Structure 1
Amino acid sequence: MSALGALDPARGVRAAGLFRPLSAEDEEQQPAEIESLCMACYRNGVTRLLLTRIPFFREIIVSSFTCNSCAWSNSEIQSAGRIQDQGVCYTLAVRKKQDMNREVVKTDCATARVPELDFEIPAFSQKGALTTIEGLIDRAIAGLKQDQPIRRETDTDVAGKIDQFISKLKRLKGVDSAFTFILDDPSGNSFVENPHAPQRDEALVVTHYRRTAQQAAMLGLEIEESKEDSADPADDLRNEVLQFSTNCPECNAPAATNMKLVQIPHFKEVIIMATNCDVCGHRTNEVKSGGAVEPLGTKITLHVTDPSDMTRDILKSETCRVEIPELEFELGMGALGGKFTTLEGLLKDIQGLVAKNPFTLGDSSTPDRAEQLHAFGRKLQQIVDGELRVHLVLDDPAGNSYLQNVYAPEDDPEMRVEHYERLFEQNEELGLNDMKTEGYEADCSSSR
C-alpha cells in the first residue's frame, strides 16, 4: 500500500526513485508483494507489483498474481503516466512468421483488429499486456475456449462456429497467408515494435490522430470549448511571456509552462512553450505555428556540405516528416513534437530518440539490433562533425516548417524549397476535408 500511496495525485509528487528504468542488472529493483484474495478459489494469494519506466511509454505498473492453493495466475500492465496528447494507430502487414514475434504494448483502452477475419478485441475487454502479436492471438483463443464445454452441452451450433473461428485464428499464427494487424489506442500509450529501427519499416504504418468526443469520454477526459470574447481586442503579446500551471510529463508534479509569441525573420509567427520542473529537473520545449495552415505543402531539401550548416535555425512543426535518404531514415509526423532549434540540435534529439528505443534495451535487445543502432548513432555524429555529407528533407504538408537561408534574401545554392498540392489523405490527416471556412454569411441570412 505504501507504493500505491505514492501515486496519489493529491500528494502532488511521486517519491524520488519510485519508478526506475527496467533493467536485469538492477538488483535494487524488487517488486512489492501484497497479500490478495484469489477470485478463483477465494483463498489468499500474492500480488507482485513492479513500478518501472520504459522509454516512450514513460511509467508503467507491472502486476502479477499467483495463488499457491489453486495455481491460478494472472499478469497485466497498467500505465502510470499521463494520457498522450494524440491517439495512435498502428497498421502492420503481417507477411511472414517472424512478424508474429514483434513485441506489442497493448493498454486496456486499445482495440486490436484483423480485418480479414472480421476479428476484433474491443477496448477494455482485456487487461493491458506487454506481449507479442502471437501472444495476443493466444489470449484471444484461450478466451474463446473458456466456455466451450458448456456451449457444447447447451448450443452445439454456436460451439461449432466458435471452433471453426478458433481454427482460423490458429492458422493466423502460422501465417499461411498475409493479413493485417491493427492496434488502435486513443490514449496514445500502445506500441508495436519496428525490428528495423532506426530505418523505416515498410510493413508498419504509424498514424497519430486527434481523439473524438466519444473517445475522450471513454478515457474520462473532459473537452473544454474555448470561448472568444470578440468585444475586447487582443493585446499585443509579442513582448509578454505568459505563464500557466500544468503538470510535469515525467513526475506529474505541479509545474509552470512559459509561452511567448515570436516572429521568425522571413517566415511567420510561432508560439514557443517551455516547461521546467523544479522537482525532477525535467525540461521540455515545444513550438506551435501561430498562423493558419498554408494553401500548399512545403518540402525543404538541404545538402549538408559544411559544419557551419549545423548552426542553421530550424522550425519543425508537429506535422513535419524528417528524412535522411543516405541513411534510409525517416522520422514520422508527431515524433519529437514541434521544435525550434538548430540543425545540430535536431540531430542530437534524433540521436536521443534512437538511443532510448525500448526494444533495444534490457532483455528485449539483441546484439545485431543494438549494433545497428550504435552504427546509426555514429553516422549521425559524423554528420554533426561535418565528416559525412547528406541531404536533409523536411516534408510538411501544412507548410508550417522552416529552415534558415543563410544567404537571405538571396537564394541558397544548397537548399531547395518546393511547394506542392496536398493529397486527399494528407488533408484528411490534417482535418481539412471536413473544415468549412466559407459561406457563413449566406448560411446565416438563409436561416433568418
Structure 2
Amino acid sequence: MSLIAEMNVRGESVFKDLSADDEDWLPTEIQSLCMNCYQDGTTRMLLTKIPFFKEIIVSSFSCSNCGWSNTEIQSAGRIQDQGVCYTLRVQSKQDLNREVVKAESATIRIPELDFEIPPFTQKGSLSTVEGVIDRAVAGLEQDQPARRQLDSEVALKIDDFIQKLKELKRVEDDFTLVIEDPSGNSFVENPVAPQKDEALTVTRFKRSPQQDVQLGIRADDDLEQEPEDNTLDAMRNEVLVFNTNCPECNAPASTNMKLVQIPHFKEVIIMATNCETCGHRTNEVKSGGATEDQGTRITLNITDVSDMTRDVLKSETCAILIPELEFELGMAALGGKFTTLEGLLKDIKDLTVTKNPFVCGDSSSTDRVLQLNQFGEKLDQIITGELKVHIILEDPAGNSYIQNVYAPESDPEMTIEKYTRSYEDNEELGLNDMKTEGYQED
C-alpha cells in the first residue's frame, strides 16, 4: 500500500483503463506456492479500472507442474456510501447472459431453491448469471468424492441439489437471483438501458454497524459519535476540511464540506473534492434535514431553453423520470447532486451513454449501441430546447428540489405533489419502525 500511495503522489496512477492497445501495460508476475501440488507456480497481477466496479486487481495463478489454475478479482476502489441489492427475475435464456460483477462482500441468494452463498466465502468475480450458477455448482462438486466416502447419504442429497442448480440454466420456470452487497460495488447489467428493466429491481440500503465492521470501515468498539449539535454549528459557520483519497487515482486529497441554506427550501450539506494529482473533481450533496413525513414528486414541464439554468437538488434517494423517453433512473444511481437542469441531463448522458461499458468491446451489440446513441441525441435536443419533455423527480425522503424561477409566486410549469410512502420506500429509507400516517404494510 505504501508503494501505491508513493506512486500516486508522484503523479502516476497504478490503475489504468483496461485496453488491448496499451502493449506496455503488462501484468506483474510473482512466483508463488501452488496450493494443489505445493510446488512453485506463477501469479500474474494487473491493476486496472472498469466502469461500475471502480478500480480492481485482477490476479491469475497457474502451475506448470500440475496444471492447476485460478483467477480472482478484488475491488481496489472505495466502499460506496450505501449498500446495494439487485433482484433479477430470470425469465429467459437471454437473462443468463447478463453481465454480473460480484464483490467479495456480496451475498447471493436463489429463494426458489432456498440457496444462499454467504459473503466473504467467494472471491470477487466478473461473470454472467450463468457463470454465477456454474461457479456455485463447481464449488459444491469440489468435495463430493470425499463426501461419498464419509457420508454417502449427504453426498446424494448434494448431488440432487446440484442437478436442480443445473436445471435452472434451462429456464423452464422463472427463478429469482438476488445479489446483496453492503459495499455497494456489485452490479447486474440492464440490457435495455436507458429504459427501465422490468425484470431487475435495484434498491439501496443503509449499512448496519455489523456490516461496517465486516467491511473494515468501523472498529468493533468504535460506537461513540460526535454530538450532532456541535457538528451542525461548526458546518454552518465554517468550511470543514478532512483528508480522503481521490476516487479516480486514489492519491491523497482533501474534501471540503459546508452546510448551505437553499432559498425557499432547506439546508443541505455540499461536499467537494479536488485532486491536485490528477485534476479530478467531484461534488456531492446530502440533505441537512430529517426525512420528511411524506415523499415528494416534482414535475417540471420544459418549455424553453432557459429552463436549463434552473437549480436542481437531487438527493441520493431521488429517482428521475422522463416519460416522453420512457426513461427511469433509480435512486442513488447518480448520488446526491446540486447542479443545474442542464448539468443533471449531461450527468445522465454520461452515465447511460458516454461512459457506459456495455456499448463497447465484446459485450456490445449493434442494436444496443444504436438505441443508446439515439437516447443521447434526444438528451442533447432537450438541452438545446428542440425537444419538449417533462422531468420528474420522485423522492420518497422529500429532500429534492427544482428552482421556482417565479418565486415567491407559484410556478405555472411545475407541480409538487406529496404522497404516502410505500412499504418498499420505508424499507429502503430504513424507516420500518417509523411508520407514517396512512402507511400500511401489505
In the superposition, the TM-score normalised over structure 1's length comes to 0.91
Query: Structure 2 counterpart of 1:307, which letter?
Result: V
- 1:16-64 C-alpha deviation (Å, 9 max, x unpaired): 1421112233333322222222111122222111111011221001111
> CA shift at 1:229, angstroms?
7.7
- Partners of 2:435 and 2:113 in 1: CA distance: 37
Asked whether the equivalents of residues 6 and 14 of structure 1 are also in contact (C-alpha less than 8 Å), the reply is: no
Show structure 2 runs of 5+ residues with no match: 437-442
- Partners of 2:178 and 2:19 in 1: CA distance: 29
Does the C-alpha gap of structure 1 residues 292 and 153 become closer, same or farther in structure 2, counting only changes over 3 Å?
closer
Match for residue 167 of structure 2?
171
Residue 275 of structure 2 is aligned to residue 283 of structure 1: no
The residue matched to 1:174 in structure 2 has which SS? coil
Residue 209 of structure 2 is aligned to residue 210 of structure 1: no
Asked whether the equivalents of residues 24 and 362 of structure 1 are also in contact (C-alpha less than 8 Å), the reply is: no
Match for residue 76 of structure 1?
72
Does the C-alpha gap of structure 1 residues 217 and 130 become closer, same or farther in structure 2, counting only changes over 3 Å?
same
Does the C-alpha gap of structure 1 residues 153 and 201 become closer, same or farther in structure 2, counting only changes over 3 Å?
same
Does the C-alpha gap of structure 1 residues 229 and 173 become closer, same or farther in structure 2, counting only changes over 3 Å?
closer
Residue 272 of structure 2 is aligned to residue 293 of structure 1: no
Residue 395 of structure 2 is aligned to residue 396 of structure 1: yes
Asked whether the equivalents of residues 253 and 277 of structure 1 are also in contact (C-alpha less than 8 Å), the reply is: yes
The residue matched to 1:419 in structure 2 has which SS? strand
Match for residue 409 of structure 1?
408
> CA shift at 1:225, angstroms?
3.2
Does the C-alpha gap of structure 1 residues 15 and 108 become closer, same or farther in structure 2, counting only changes over 3 Å?
farther
Runs of 4+ in 1 over 6 A off after TM superposition: none
Does the C-alpha gap of structure 1 residues 339 and 364 become closer, same or farther in structure 2, counting only changes over 3 Å?
same
Asked whether the equivalents of residues 13 and 249 of structure 2 are also in contact (C-alpha less than 8 Å), the reply is: no
1:101-140 to structure 2, matched below 5 A, reads 101-140=97-136
Find 2:303's aligned residue among 290, 298, 305.
305
Asked whether the equivalents of residues 13 and 251 of structure 1 are also in contact (C-alpha less than 8 Å), the reply is: no
Query: Structure 2 counterpart of 1:345, which letter?
Result: G
- Partners of 2:185 and 2:435 in 1: CA distance: 32
> CA shift at 1:112, angstroms?
0.7
Asked whether the equivalents of residues 308 and 342 of structure 2 are also in contact (C-alpha less than 8 Å), the reply is: yes
> CA shift at 1:11, angstroms?
7.4
1:47-446 to structure 2, matched below 5 A, reads 47-222=43-218, 224-228=223-227, 235=233, 238=236, 240-354=238-352, 355-435=354-434
> CA shift at 1:335, angstroms?
1.5
Asked whether the equivalents of residues 313 and 401 of structure 2 are also in contact (C-alpha less than 8 Å), the reply is: yes
> Does 243-252 or 408-417 show the bigger shift?
243-252
- Partners of 2:184 and 2:51 in 1: CA distance: 14
Does the C-alpha gap of structure 1 residues 155 and 329 become closer, same or farther in structure 2, counting only changes over 3 Å?
same
- Partners of 1:165 and 1:253 in 2: CA distance: 47
> CA shift at 1:250, angstroms?
2.1
- Partners of 2:410 and 2:200 in 1: CA distance: 38
> CA shift at 1:182, angstroms?
0.4
Match for residue 439 of structure 2?
none
> Does 236-245 or 124-133 show the bigger shift?
236-245
> Does 334-343 or 37-46 show the bigger shift?
37-46
- Partners of 2:236 and 2:41 in 1: CA distance: 61
Identity of aligned residues (%): 68
Query: Structure 2 counterpart of 1:291, which letter?
Result: G
- Partners of 2:260 and 2:193 in 1: CA distance: 35
> Does 278-287 or 36-45 show the bigger shift?
36-45
> Does 158-167 or 263-272 show the bigger shift?
263-272
Query: Structure 2 counterpart of 1:175, which letter?
Result: V
Does the C-alpha gap of structure 1 residues 221 and 113 become closer, same or farther in structure 2, counting only changes over 3 Å?
same
Query: Structure 1 counterpart of 2:407, which letter?
Result: A
> Does 394-403 or 14-23 show the bigger shift?
14-23
- Partners of 1:233 and 1:279 in 2: CA distance: 30
Asked whether the equivalents of residues 8 and 249 of structure 2 are also in contact (C-alpha less than 8 Å), the reply is: no
Show structure 1 runs of 5+ residues with no match: 438-448
- Partners of 1:233 and 1:375 in 2: CA distance: 47
Query: Structure 2 counterpart of 1:303, which letter?
Result: N
- Partners of 2:71 and 2:369 in 1: CA distance: 28
- Partners of 1:217 and 1:366 in 2: CA distance: 41
Find 1:6's aligned residue among 3, 8, 15.
3
- Partners of 2:22 and 2:135 in 1: CA distance: 30
Does the C-alpha gap of structure 1 residues 384 and 319 become closer, same or farther in structure 2, counting only changes over 3 Å?
same
Asked whether the equivalents of residues 297 and 394 of structure 2 are also in contact (C-alpha less than 8 Å), the reply is: yes
- Partners of 2:325 and 2:317 in 1: CA distance: 22
RMSD: 2.2
Match for residue 442 of structure 1?
none
> Does 291-300 or 313-322 show the bigger shift?
291-300
> CA shift at 1:5, angstroms?
6.1
- Partners of 1:173 and 1:110 in 2: CA distance: 22
Match for residue 440 of structure 2?
none
- 1:279-329 C-alpha deviation (Å, 9 max, x unpaired): 111111111222222222111111111111101111111111110111111
- Partners of 1:176 and 1:272 in 2: CA distance: 50
Asked whether the equivalents of residues 310 and 342 of structure 1 are also in contact (C-alpha less than 8 Å), the reply is: yes
Query: Structure 2 counterpart of 1:278, which letter?
Result: E
Asked whether the equivalents of residues 23 and 362 of structure 1 are also in contact (C-alpha less than 8 Å), the reply is: no
> CA shift at 1:214, angstroms?
1.6
Query: Structure 1 counterpart of 2:318, which letter?
Result: C
- 1:214-253 C-alpha deviation (Å, 9 max, x unpaired): 21111122155323287x7975854532222222222222
Asked whether the equivalents of residues 298 and 398 of structure 1 are also in contact (C-alpha less than 8 Å), the reply is: yes
Asked whether the equivalents of residues 51 and 60 of structure 1 are also in contact (C-alpha less than 8 Å), the reply is: yes
The residue matched to 2:71 in structure 1 has which SS? strand
- Partners of 1:206 and 1:93 in 2: CA distance: 12
> CA shift at 1:15, angstroms?
6.3
> Does 163-172 or 12-21 show the bigger shift?
12-21
Does the C-alpha gap of structure 1 residues 167 and 268 become closer, same or farther in structure 2, counting only changes over 3 Å?
same
